[in-house]
């Protein structure tokens, strides 16, 4: 058996694969945070709760309405995205002119409400979502075994990330978004409906979180707390990458997942904390973040 | 302080009138704090001392947090780390060195959180605004995981049955009344430090930084040093609050280090009034009372939801907080 620094190759690759999957979730979530931050200038603390909602909508619609995985993959982001737009219109808009820290506090309160209610309704332990039929089993790649679903998560997450990047960087709609990030008032002067753009942006960011939630449902347990612990790691990822670039958010997310996977192999005690340690390092060397623009 | 400019026709009395008014305000304030202290001294006759001690510990925690948010404009989302560090180190010291006097145990915890605060402060003040909040949150999560895994913290169980010890090796702290007066003294000490800091020239510079950082820089102030000092004082007092809480309840647990705790102290400050002297005290009183009255009732499991609702309502409708609102009311009707 091949050994890499005293670890069998198959174990190393297996952990790297797990890391890649975590990285795919980090990328999806930090991408959503970055898009929302770009236009609204707030950090969406409810992002974790919205990810959890995405998973729960899939779980509940399967059990009570018989909606299958593929339909949930579309339906759940749509539903949670609409909820997000309602939150933006009804609540966030009211404090848009206040200090942006109030946006953080408001969404924090929302996260407490949503998670607290779900703990009360469904208990802390949660439930499992069955693997869709078509994605069971796996491939033998010769050097390791790749479960189909895990491969699918990586592909789906990366496709959605790159499509989002393409829309923002290469299309007209994306150019409005980027211009709105730079100077919303000038955009309004040009006759672009900025308030609508803000609502749609928040909705899309939230929908990304819900999409990640549905992807996560069959591999992680569906629990009320599944989002909040993940979100704090994603915050660290955002600090590491800086929120200046869309591609930066994706790359940093995947890279942090891989680093976490490597740590699990070589020094498992630090697996929970390695992303935070990388954040400390980045703050010391390059406070603006790896891809950040402002100091 | 500069004297008013002597314009033609300006009454010469003005300076003395201003001084007189200021003295009157100071007298009123002294009287007010004196009355408050008198109430605190007799309170254990009417209210269960352990509840009062809990209230005072959280009030000190919130006051320490308010120094940072209200006067330096820095939103820390990781203050639970300092609260918990104070608690864990004090708990560890008192449990493993029997015979250690209470105040030395608390001192050890406070020193540990001060050191941690210096470290975190140096890192976090490199970024501003929303990044500052995210960095402090991430660092606090790091501390949380350390407490989960470290050998001396008792993992999920925490440190239980921490002995309260003897104050100065003499007074048995097992007596709740003795414990209460000690906690009150700790609170007054911490509160006085914050008051002193806010009303000193240092506090003025801090407010200037909060209002307009580039301006403060151009005036030649070392902004980073001022912010760091505020962060360290705040962390130290948060640690003092956590250490005292551990002695009172004889328990240090992961709840203290969880990000919910960081959220709770923000809520206390926001609800009471950010940047007001008494706001955190009032906010802590409301939240602690709410928690203990809810936990016995049918709504016990909804505590987090209710706190979340209060959070949202505060941000949307009540940003000046209870004390801020009262201050405005007094100003409008009595001046």
Say how far apart CA A214 and CA B226 lie, in whole Å: 46
**Residues pairing with B160 in the sheet:** B251
Q: Which residues of chain A make contact with B307, given a CB cutoff of 8 A?
A: 109, 112, 116
| CB-nearest partner of A108 from B135, B139, B311 | B311
User: How close B167 comes to chain A (CA, Å)?
Assistant: 38
Domain of A172 in residue numbering reads as: 3-285
| CB-nearest partner of B130 from A101, A109, A116 | A101
Per-residue model confidence (pLDDT) at position A48:
93
Q: Which residues of chain B make contact with A114, given a CB cutoff of 8 A?
A: 308
| CB-nearest partner of A239 from B135, B266, B308 | B135
B14 assigned to some structural domain:
no
A141 assigned to some structural domain:
yes
Closest CA to A28 of A146, A135, A130, A165: A165
Band (A77; pLDDT cuts 50, 70, 90): very high
Specify the 3-state DSSP secondary structure of B174. coil
Say how far apart CA A238 and CA A250 lie, in whole Å: 10
Q: Is A107 left (phi over 0), alpha (psi -120 to 50) or beta?
A: alpha
Q: Which residues of chain A make contact with B127, given a CB cutoff of 8 A?
A: 239, 283, 287
A97 assigned to some structural domain:
yes
Interface test with B, best of A45, A102, A104 (most B CBs within 10 A): A104
Tokens encoding A36 = 């929302």
| In contact, A33 and A47? CB cutoff 8 Å | yes
Other C-beta atoms closer than 10 Å to the C-beta of A99 total 13
CATH of the domain at B259: 1.10.3470
Say how far apart CA A88 and CA A94 lie, in whole Å: 9
Q: Which letter, b or e, does each residue of B273-302 get, where b requires 16 or more Cβ atoms within 10 Å of its Cβ?
A: bbbbbbbbbbbbbbbbebbeebeeeeeeeb
B28 assigned to some structural domain:
no
Q: Which residues of chain B make contact with A94, given a CB cutoff of 8 A?
A: 316
pLDDT by 10s per residue, chain B, length 335 = 444 444 555 555 577 777 887 788 788 878 888 888 888 787 787 888 888 899 999 999 999 999 999 898 899 999 999 999 999 999 898 888 877 888 888 899 999 999 999 999 998 888 887 888 888 988 998 999 888 888 887 777 778 877 777 778 777 777 888 889 999 999 999 999 999 999 899 999 989 988 888 898 899 888 999 999 999 999 999 999 999 999 898 888 888 888 889 988 999 999 988 888 888 999 999 999 888 888 877 777 788 888 889 889 988 888 888 888 888 888 887 75
Say how far apart CA B131 and CA B127 lie, in whole Å: 6
Per-residue model confidence (pLDDT) at position A41:
85
Q: What does A75-119 look like in DSSP terms, one character per residue?
A: HHHHHHHHHHHHHHHHTGGGGTTS-THHHHHHHHHHHHHHHHHHH
The verdict on a CB contact (< 8 Å) between A239 and B134 is yes
Q: What is the mean pLDDT of chain A?
A: 87
| In contact, B183 and B244? CB cutoff 8 Å | yes
First to last CA, chain B: 24
Q: Which letter, b or e, does each residue of A284-293 get, where b requires 16 or more Cβ atoms within 10 Å of its Cβ?
A: eeebbbbbbe
Tokens encoding B329 = 């009311």
The verdict on a CB contact (< 8 Å) between B311 and A100 is no
Residue-wise pLDDT for A164-201, tens only, equals 999 988 888 888 888 888 888 888 888 888 889 889 99
B155 assigned to some structural domain:
yes
More confident residue, B307 or A1: B307
Which helix (H) or strand (E) segment holds residue B239: the answer is helix B223-249
Say how far apart CA B160 and CA B151 lie, in whole Å: 14
B178 assigned to some structural domain:
yes
Domain of B266 in residue numbering reads as: 44-334
| In contact, B283 and B268? CB cutoff 8 Å | yes
Q: What does B3-27 look like in DSSP terms, one character per residue?
A: PPP--TT--TTHHHHHHHHHHHHHH
A294 assigned to some structural domain:
no
Query: Nearest residue of B to residue A119 by CA position?
Result: B301
The verdict on a CB contact (< 8 Å) between B135 and A279 is yes
A132 assigned to some structural domain:
yes
The single-letter DSSP state of residue A7 is E
B2 assigned to some structural domain:
no
| In contact, A185 and A96? CB cutoff 8 Å | no
Pairing of strands B171-172, B166-167: antiparallel
Q: How many structural domains are present in chain B?
A: 1
B236 assigned to some structural domain:
yes
| In contact, A246 and A167? CB cutoff 8 Å | no
Residue-wise pLDDT for A115-155, tens only, equals 989 988 888 777 888 888 777 877 777 777 788 888 899 99
A186 assigned to some structural domain:
yes
Indicate whether this complex's ipTM tops 0.95. Answer: no
Say how far apart CA B11 and CA B175 lie, in whole Å: 61
B53 assigned to some structural domain:
yes
The verdict on a CB contact (< 8 Å) between A94 and B316 is yes
Chain B: residues touching A (Cβ < 8 Å): 75, 123, 126-127, 129-131, 133-135, 137-139, 141-142, 145-146, 148-149, 259, 263, 266, 270, 301-305, 307-312, 314-316, 319
Number of cross-chain residue pairs from A and B with Cβ atoms under 8 Å apart: 114
Other C-beta atoms closer than 10 Å to the C-beta of A39 total 20
How large is the average pLDDT for residues A221-231?
88
Chain A: residues touching B (Cβ < 8 Å): 37, 41-43, 91, 94-95, 98, 100-102, 104-106, 108-117, 119-120, 228, 232-233, 235-236, 238-239, 269, 272-273, 276-277, 279-280, 283-284, 287
Tokens encoding A113 = 């409400």
Q: How many structural domains are present in chain A?
A: 1
CATH of the domain at A92: 1.10.3470
Interface test with B, best of A41, A95, A112, A283 (most B CBs within 10 A): A112
H-only helix segments in chain A: 9-40, 47-65, 69-90, 101-122, 148-170, 172-182, 184-189, 194-216, 226-241, 246-266, 274-285
Q: Classify the C-alpha dihedral B198-B264-B327-B315 as positive or negative.
A: positive
| CB-nearest partner of B263 from A91, A108, A277 | A108
A183 assigned to some structural domain:
yes
Give Cα separations from A26 to A130, A175, A265, A282, B44 (angstroms).
23, 25, 20, 18, 51
Would you state the torsion angle of the CA atoms of residues A138, A27, A239, A267, taken in this order, to the nearest 10 degrees? 0
């Amino acid at each position: 058996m091949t050994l890499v620094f005293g670890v069998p190759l198959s174990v190393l690759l297996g952990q790297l694969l797990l890391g890649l999957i975590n990285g795919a979730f980090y990328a999806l979530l930090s991408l959503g945070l970055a898009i929302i931050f770009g236009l609204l200038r707030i950090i969406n603390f409810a992002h974790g709760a919205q990810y959890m909602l995405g998973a729960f909508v899939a779980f509940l619609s399967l059990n009570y309405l018989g909606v299958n995985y593929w339909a949930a993959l579309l339906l759940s982001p749509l539903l949670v995205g609409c909820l997000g737009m309602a939150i933006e219109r009804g609540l966030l808009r009211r404090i848009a002119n206040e200090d942006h820290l109030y946006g953080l506090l408001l969404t924090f309160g929302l996260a407490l409400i949503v998670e607290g209610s779900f703990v009360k309704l469904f208990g802390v332990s949660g439930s499992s979502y069955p693997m869709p039929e078509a994605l069971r089993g796996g491939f033998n790649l010769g050097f390791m075994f790749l479960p189909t679903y895990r491969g699918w998560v990586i592909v789906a997450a990366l496709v959605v990330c790159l499509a989002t990047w393409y829309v923002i960087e290469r299309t007209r709609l994306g150019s409005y978004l980027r211009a709105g990030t730079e100077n919303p008032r000038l955009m309004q002067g040009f006759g672009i409906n900025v308030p609508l753009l803000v609502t749609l942006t928040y909705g899309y960011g939230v929908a990304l979180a819900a999409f990640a939630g549905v992807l996560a449902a069959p591999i992680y347990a569906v629990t009320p707390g599944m989002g909040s612990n993940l979100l704090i790691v994603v915050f660290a990822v955002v600090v590491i990458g800086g929120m200046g670039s869309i591609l930066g958010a994706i790359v940093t997310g995947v890279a942090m997942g891989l680093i976490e996977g490597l740590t699990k192999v070589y020094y498992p005690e630090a697996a929970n904390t390695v992303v935070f340690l990388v954040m400390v390092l980045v703050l010391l060397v390059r406070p603006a973040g790896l891809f950040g623009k402002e100091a | 302080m500069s004297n008013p400019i002597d314009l033609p026709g300006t009454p010469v009395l003005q300076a003395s009138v201003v001084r007189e008014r200021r003295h009157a305000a100071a007298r009123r304030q002294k009287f007010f704090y004196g009355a408050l202290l008198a109430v605190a001294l007799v309170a254990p006759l009417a209210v269960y001392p352990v509840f009062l001690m809990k209230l005072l510990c959280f009030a000190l925690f919130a006051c320490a947090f308010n120094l940072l948010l209200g006067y330096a404009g820095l939103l820390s989302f990781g203050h639970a780390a300092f609260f918990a560090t104070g608690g864990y180190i004090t708990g560890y010291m008192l449990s493993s060195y029997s015979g250690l006097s209470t105040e030395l145990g608390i001192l050890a915890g406070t020193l540990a959180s001060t050191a941690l605060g210096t470290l975190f402060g140096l890192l976090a003040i490199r970024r501003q605004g929303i990044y500052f909040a995210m960095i402090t949150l991430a660092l606090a999560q790091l501390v949380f995981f350390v407490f989960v895994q470290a050998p001396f913290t008792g993992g999920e169980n925490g440190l239980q049955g921490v002995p309260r010890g003897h104050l100065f090796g003499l007074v048995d702290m097992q007596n709740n009344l003795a414990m209460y007066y000690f906690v009150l003294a700790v609170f007054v000490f911490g509160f006085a430090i914050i008051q002193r800091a806010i009303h000193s020239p240092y506090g003025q510079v801090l407010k200037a930084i909060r209002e307009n950082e580039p301006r403060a820089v151009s005036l030649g102030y070392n902004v980073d040093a001022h912010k760091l000092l505020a962060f360290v004082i705040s962390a130290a007092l948060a640690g003092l609050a956590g250490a005292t809480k551990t002695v009172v309840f004889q328990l240090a647990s992961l709840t203290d280090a969880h990000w919910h705790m960081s959220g709770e102290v923000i809520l206390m400050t926001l609800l009471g009034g950010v940047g007001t002297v008494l706001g955190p005290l009032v906010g802590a009183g409301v939240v602690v009372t709410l928690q203990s009255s809810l936990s016995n009732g049918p709504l016990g499991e909804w505590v987090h939801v209710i706190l979340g609702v209060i959070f949202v309502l505060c941000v949307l409708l009540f940003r000046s907080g209870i004390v801020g609102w009262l201050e405005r009311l007094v100003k409008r009707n009595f001046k």
